[in-house]
Amino acid sequence: MKKIRYNSFIAKLLWSEYNTITLAAWVCTKYKNKEEMPQRIRNHECTHARQWVECMLSSGVVIWALVLFAGISALWFALSFISFYILYVLEWLLKIPFYGKNAYENISFEREAYACENDNNYIENGDYFEWIRYILR
């Protein structure tokens, strides 16, 4: 899961307060190398990459079943690649009325990543779909 692109052009497009972004299963960062990037940030972003994989695979299974049994177009599979981002933005929008500026920190994906960023073995030993537990908490 360590698909980290150091000194990434994509990460340099981010506004100054952020150094790293996860896009699909890849982590793009402004840090120049592994030694410069703190381990907790690596853990945090790799958790997001795993969440993306979980959302993509689970939505792909649902879409596959709909293609087989409901006769929808296979073009709907394209949604599986962005299902993580759809859920992320929907949850953020739903939490804005309750948390205001702190809605971002209360998204379930972020809460899981923050809770486990100091555990260097979380990716290998953590439960799948753990972010679901954080949705209503």
Tens of pLDDT along 64-113? 999 999 999 999 999 999 999 999 999 999 999 999 999 999 999 999 99
What's the rounded Cα separation, in Å, for the pair 90 and 79?
14
In one letter, which amino acid is 6? Y
pLDDT at 1 over 70: no
CA distances from 20 to 60, 73, 78, 82, 107 (A): 27, 36, 25, 19, 18
Q: What's the pLDDT tens digit per position in 16-68? A: 678 899 999 899 999 999 999 999 999 999 999 999 999 999 999 999 999 99
pLDDT the model gives residue 137: 74
Question: Higher pLDDT residue, 15 or 126?
Answer: 126
In the structure, what pLDDT confidence band is assigned to residue 2 with cuts at 50, 70 and 90? low
